[in-house]
Amino acid sequence: MTDTNAPASGAALNENGHGEHDDAAAEVVMPPLNAGIDEERAYVGALYRRLDQLREEARTQLAKVRSSGAVGTMQNMSERDAFATMYEDRLAQLNAVDDRLVFGRLDLETDESRYIGRIALSTESRQRLMLDWRAPEAGVFYQATAFDRQGVRRRRHLLLKRRSVQGIEDEVLDPAMLEEGTENHGDGALLAAVTARRTGQMGDIVATIQAEQDRIIRADRSGILVVQGGPGTGKTAVALHRAAYLLYTHRERLKSAGVLIVGPSSTFMSYIERVLPSLGETGVVMSSLADLYPGVRGVEESDQALAEIKGRLDWVQIIADAVAHRRRTIAEARHIVVDGVKVKVTPKMINRGIERAKATGKPYNEARATFVKVMVKEIADTLEDILANRSQGNEADRSYLVEDVRNAAQVRVLLNLCWLPRTPQALLEDLYAKPEYLAAVAPQLEDSERQLLRREPGAAFTTADVPLLDEAAELLGELDETAGREEARQQAARQKDLENAQKAVENAGPQLEEMGIEGFLDAEAVAALNAETGHTMTAAERAGVDRTWTYGHVVVDEAQELTPMQWHILMRRCPLKSFTAVGDTAQGSSPSATTSWKQAFAPFIDDRLRVEELTVNYRTPRNIVELAERVAEANGLQTTQLRTVREGDYEPIIETHHQAEHLVAAATAAVAAERQRLAEGLIAVIAPEPLVGSIRESLVEVYGRRVGQGAGSMTQDVVALSAAEAKGLEFDGVVLIEPAELLDEAAGKVGSLYVALTRSTQSLRVLAARDLPAGF
Ligand SMILES: Nc1ncnc2c1ncn2[C@@H]1O[C@H](COP(=O)(O)OP(=O)(O)OP(=O)(O)O)[C@@H](O)[C@H]1O
């Protein structure tokens, strides 16, 4: 990369905008109102110098802390670790904001000028160099208009490529300035941003946030805020920028409690994972719905009817009854043998034990410890009486007696019969595998529904099982009060390390291969290396592996898809009920998708719901949006008509009369045609579920490793996916296969087809063998 930054205030800058560090302490002169690009470059150079200096300082501090040695008291060591983590975080933040550090300048009626960037910067002598975009004084950068100037004379966009200023663009709000002729016109920062080629990973929109979006981003933290908006209106972008805003504004509270971001799938999570780091925020927990229960990764529920049944709030009662059902007394007295002596245990004794344990109010497994203690004591008392009678006054050693009772096989069998220790997994497997157990605790379900739930133990848990496991875990508690949670935490942390390492290895793979190095890295080795460095877990990392963690704020994307049970467990993760839920009631594609936000939240809150709407589609050009809306409406779906920011350079192409058996080959040919039409960019084939695999194989034959596979594959050139997988994502070009089939897959609900039709930022090609659905 080259940089054309000129020196600032006489300070020497090298090619990359780096300068001598002591210069950064000097007073920096702010460019005048009529500054041109060279003066702006000089100022931007000074900003980067300051950033470099801060980075150097953080690095030095970190090295100092690390070299202070691993000796000292436990407290010293944990303080040292805490400092090290703090400097690591700071360094990570300063590194993350390097790309396009600054993007705006405001010139105010007060003659003051403010630079707006990713973080706040000041000189050592506290001269303010740049405002954080989230600071209250930066708000007018996004809010001011010609009609409502809010004290702004001019808004200037600085267009950077990495560190280099490529251009400047002015929006003059003060008519007097227009007369002075101080304008720099261009294509418009927004238009440039929305037209840019997609990288397969979502980028931030911090330089071009629009006023209607900004109001939502900066809205109050309390209560549940729903952002309703059609496809491409920036809901995901707004949700993520809001998380960054809240972390900045409520730093203390949210840094320790953390923010949780939940999305529909792991592909989607990798699509959005870079946005917050690019805004300098690393301390959030991101999780797909399948991963919300630590230690289990839910597989997709293949039957949507089953997902709907498992999503009902009835399960709160069913699981509670299922847990209670595992606790039972005996019908009549039993004789058990301890040390060769027969002891009579009555139902009354068992009932007393159960009641005493229940009175502790502890979860099932933890209360069981009390039950066992009470029962062992009662049985030991009885045994003691028998022995005392037999030996006529010679007392047995009480402590030996208690141990003997505790270890007696028949005692264990009896106590387990009455109160069996259970894991959430075992409880749920039992419910699915034992029809009489399910029938006893789930009379709310129809016979046919219970039949559908039937499955053998050992099958993989699905995403729809995740809330049920969570509910069971809440009621059952830990098997072993202390060890269980820590062990699960460590196992989940190891798993996370391994996944991160796997991703790093995958990302590095193609580059290493190009360099002729292959097979050098394996994920296990990288994960082990990470573990050895003894990195202290941040609050966010700890939160991510602890099911019982409660967050300060929760952001939910594609919120229309969540089942009542999924909301139920998310509410538990944020007792303050501070939520941002973004979604579109028209894009629901599962049977449990909501069509009314009020209804979706009614079981959890009274009337504290705020709904904000977004109305401009920034993704899809007008010609494609019109087609999508026509198809949606012709199939009975009410959509709000969206405004678009672009007309579209490519007309949608619709190819009918393909032969069903040739659709795979036709899809591959269509990708070639689209690649030619667009010259560059990411092309997605969105196809009915059964065709995705063979289309992918056929594409691999032609494009090899350039075809993406699964989560994290979006940075490739070509991907093949189902409509469900495409949710929330976007591509430069979309090849849509057999729309009638997509309609059938969703039992006639047009939501999925509508989603698929609105994924493109440039071009759309539709291939069909069957008749096209209405509206095409
Ligand atoms: N203010 C903006 N400036 C630049 N780009 C924007 C802006 N707002 C949104 N975009 C871009 O528009 C595209 C769509 O945004 P996003 O994915 O957040 O929309 P969405 O409402 O979540 O869509 P969907 O519901 O269809 O998944 C993204 O590429 C995003 O970066």
The CA 235 to ligand 1 mean position distance, Å, reads 6
Among candidate residues 138, 168, 185, the one where a domain is terminated: 185
- Alpha-carbon span 578 to 225, nearest angstrom: 8
The answer to whether residue 348 sits within a structural domain is yes
- 362 domain residue, yes or no: yes
β pairing state of 760-767 and 653-655: parallel
Closest atom of ligand 1 to CA, residue 758: 26
Residue 617 lies in a domain: no
Tell which residue, 463, 478, 468, 462, has the closest CA to residue 548: 478
Check the CA dihedral 236-691-735-679 and report its sign: positive
Ligand 1: does its nearest atom lie under 6 Å from the Cβ of 235?
A: yes
Residue 404's identity, in one-letter code, is D
Token digits of residue 530: 């990470």
CB 744 within 8 Å of CB 723: no
Contact in structure between 614 and 213 (CB atoms under 8 Å)? yes
Same domain, 246 and 100: no
Domain boundary among 185, 204, 235: 185
Contact 188, 170 (CB under 8 A): no
Domain boundary among 611, 638, 654: 611
Per-residue burial over 128-165, b if 16 or more Cβ lie within 10 Å, else e, is: ebbbbbbeeebbbbbbbeeeebeebbbbbbbbbeebbb
Q: Give me 608's structure tokens.
A: 């504290």
Using an 8 Å Cβ cutoff, are 313 and 565 in contact? yes
The DSSP-derived string for 54-89 is HHHHHHHHHHHHHHT-S-S-HHHHHHHHHHHHHHHH
Four-CA torsion 463, 469, 470, 473, nearest 10 degrees:
-160
Consult the annotation and say whether 235 binds a ligand: yes
Q: Which residue type, as a one-letter code, is found at position 758?
A: T
> What is the pLDDT, as a whole number, of residue 478?
79
**Does one domain contain both 526 and 558?**
no
**Is 585:597 a contact under the CB 8 Å cutoff?**
yes
Q: How far apart are CA 291 and CA 725, in angstroms?
A: 16
- With beta carbons less than 8 A apart as the criterion, state whether 446 and 454 touch: no
Q: What is the pLDDT of residues 513-531, one digit of tens each?
A: 444 444 444 555 545 544 5
**Ligand 1 atom 13: residue of nearest CA:** 619
Specify which residues 165 forms β-bridges with: 160
Would residue 402 count as lying in a domain?
A: yes
Residue 7 within a domain = no
Q: Which residues of the chain have pLDDT under 50?
A: 1-25, 481-484, 508-521, 526, 529-530, 532-534
The reply, when asked if residue 621 is annotated as ligand binding, is: no
**Which pLDDT score is estimated for 3?**
36
The residue to which tokens 């467990």 are assigned: 569
User: Is the shortest distance between the CB of 232 and ligand 1 below 6 Å?
Assistant: yes
Residue type for position 497: D
- For residues 86 and 167, membership in a common domain is answered with yes
d(C-alpha 456, C-alpha 478), whole Å: 25
Any idea which residue has 């009455």 for tokens?
A: 418
Counting from 1 in the atom list of ligand 1, the atom nearest the Cα of 584 is 25
Ligand 1, pocket-test mutation among 195, 217, 235, most atoms within 8 A of CB:
235
Q: What is the pLDDT of residue 13?
A: 32
Q: Please indicate if the annotation marks 704 as binding a ligand.
A: no
Q: How far is residue 115 from each of residues 132, 241, 521, 549, measured CA to CA in Å?
A: 9, 19, 43, 38
Please name the residues in contact with 610: beta carbons below 8 A apart, sequence gap of 6 or more.
219, 223, 224, 225, 226
Domain of 129, in residue numbers: 37-185
Q: Is 232 annotated as a binding residue?
A: yes
- Give the Å distance between the CA of 762 and the centre of ligand 1: 14
How far is the centre of ligand 1, averaged over its atoms, from the C-alpha of 242 (Å)?
14
Q: Which 3 state secondary structure label does DSSP give 584?
A: coil
Tell me the pairing of strands 616-617 and 643-644.
parallel
Cα separation, 484 vs 312, in Å, equals 29
Q: Answer yes or no: are the C-beta atoms of 549 and 709 closer than 8 Å.
A: no
Pairing of strands 579-583, 224-229: parallel
Q: Which residues pair with 580 in a beta bridge?
A: 225, 555
d(CA 636, CA 9): 64
* C-alpha radius of gyration, the chain, whole number: 31
- In a mutational test of the pocket of ligand 1, which residue from 103, 194, 197, 556 has the highest number of ligand atoms less than 8 Å from its CB? 194
pLDDT score recorded for residue 282? 79
Q: What is the pLDDT of residue 483?
A: 45
Q: Which of 193, 230, 233, 192 is nearest to 212 (CA)?
A: 233
Residue 731, phi then psi, degrees to nearest 5: -140, 155
Q: Which protein residue's CA is at the shortest distance from atom 18 of ligand 1?
A: 234
Is 477 a pocket residue for ligand 1 (Cβ < 6 Å)? no
What is the rounded CA–CA span in Å between residue 2 and residue 81? 38
| 233 assigned to a ligand binding site | yes
Q: What is the pLDDT of residue 542?
A: 79
As a whole number of angstroms, the distance between CA 561 and CA 558 comes to 6
What is the CA 654 to chain-centroid distance, rounded? 35
Do both 329 and 425 map to the same domain? yes
Do residues 294 and 467 lie in contact, with contact meaning Cβ atoms separated by under 8 Å? no
Cα 400–chain centre separation: 55
Tokens 């799938």, residue? Answer: 265
- Does the Cβ of 616 fall within 6 Å of ligand 1? no
Q: Is the distance from the beta carbon of residue 583 to the nearest atom of ligand 1 less than 6 Å?
A: no
Residue 229 in marked binding region: yes
Residues 345 and 445 in one domain: yes
Residue 238 CA: nearest ligand 1 atom is 18
In a domain, 24, yes or no: no
Q: Would you say 30 and 112 are in contact if contact means Cβ atoms under 8 Å apart?
A: no
- How do residues 437-477 score in pLDDT, each as one tens digit? 999 999 999 999 999 999 999 999 999 999 999 999 999 99
User: Does the beta carbon of 204 lie inside 6 Å of ligand 1?
Assistant: no
* Same domain (yes/no): 576, 524: no
Q: Is the C-beta atom of 508 inside 6 A of ligand 1? A: no
Question: How far does the centroid of ligand 1 lie from the alpha carbon of residue 725, in Å?
Answer: 17
CA dist list (Å): 674 to 656, 692, 727: 17, 18, 21
Residue 592 per-residue DSSP state: T
Residues 6 or more apart whose Cβ sits within 8 Å of residue 639: 230, 586, 629, 632, 633, 754
Distance CA 652, CA 676 (A): 15
- What string of DSSP letters covers 159-184? EEETTEEEEEEEEE--HHHHHHT---
Ligand 1 center from residue 233 Cα (angstroms): 5
State whether the beta carbon of 278 lies less than 6 angstroms from ligand 1: no
Q: How far apart are CA 695 and CA 709, in angstroms?
A: 12
Are 471 and 357 members of one domain?
yes
Are 493 and 437 in contact, with CB atoms under 8 Å apart? Answer: no
**Statement to judge: residues 233 and 139 lie in one domain:** no
Ligand 1 atom closest to the CA of 203, numbered from 1: 31
- Asked whether residue 14 is assigned to any structural domain, the reply reads no
CATH number, residue 574: 3.40.50.300
pTM of the model: 0.85
Q: Check whether residue 753 and residue 704 sit in a common domain.
A: yes
Separation CA 484–CA 549 (nearest Å)? 15
One domain for residues 286 and 311: no
Q: Are 177 and 111 in contact (CB under 8 A)?
A: no
Provide the pLDDT for residue 536: 56
For ligand 1, say whether the CB of 759 is within 6 Å of any of its atoms. Answer: no
Q: Are residues 716 and 589 in the same domain?
A: no
Task: Say if residues 115 and 129 touch (Cβ distance below 8 Å).
Answer: yes
CB of 644 shorter than 6 A to ligand 1? no
In the reported structure, the alpha carbon of residue 561 is separated from the centroid of ligand 1 by a whole-number distance in angstroms of 19
Q: What domain count does the chain have?
A: 5
Beta bridge partners of 262: 287, 556
Question: Can you tell me the distance from the alpha carbon of 589 to that of 576, in angstroms, rounded to the nearest whole number?
Answer: 30
Q: Are 560 and 440 in a shared domain? A: no
CA distances from 568 to 223, 314, 468, 563 (A): 16, 11, 10, 9
Tokens of 481: 């009060």
What is the 577 CA–ligand 1 centroid distance (Å)?
Answer: 26
Bridge-based pairing of strands 164-172 and 579-583 is: unpaired
